[in-house]
């Protein structure tokens, strides 16, 4: 079963979920704005994505512009910031076993199925 960190208000997230379903995948949907991943979960996902925490930040979000733009943080601080402000987590993220992909564009996730 694949897991998608999903925001139903995001068109890319909806498109990625639809693509997974069209591929016949059993999907666990995690609405991360309601059920925020823990710091440990985020570290695990980042490891699978092979990304640094700052690379997973949505820099267009108002909370980023207001509070974090232009500031330097450690990896652990960025993870704490994402846990406290889940809207800053880039979406959608699909995890399949020990692999993960960002669904931007949605077709990116096909490589890990």
Round to whole Å and give the CA distance between 113 and 90: 20
Tally Cβ neighbours within 10 Å of residue 108. Answer: 15
Task: State the catalytic residue, choosing from 3, 10, 25, 77.
Answer: 10
> Would you call 10 exposed, middle or buried from its count of C-beta atoms within 10 A (0-12, 13-18, 19+)?
middle
Is 10 catalytic? The answer is yes
Tokens of 98: 């020990």
Indicate left, alpha or beta for 91 from its phi (over 0: left) and psi (-120 to 50: alpha).
beta
Enzyme catalytic residues: 10
């Amino acid at each position: 079963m694949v897991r998608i960190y999903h925001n139903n208000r995001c068109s890319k997230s909806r498109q990625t979920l639809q693509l997974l379903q069209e591929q016949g995948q059993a999907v666990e949907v995690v609405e991360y704005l309601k059920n925020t991943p823990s710091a440990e979960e985020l570290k695990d996902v980042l490891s699978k994505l092979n990304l640094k925490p700052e690379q997973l930040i949505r820099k267009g979000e108002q909370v980023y512009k207001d509070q974090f733009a232009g500031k330097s943080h450690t990896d652990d601080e960025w993870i704490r910031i994402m846990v406290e402000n889940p809207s800053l987590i880039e979406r959608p993220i699909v995890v399949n076993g020990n692999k993960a992909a960002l669904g931007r564009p949605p077709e990116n996730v096909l490589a890990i199925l």
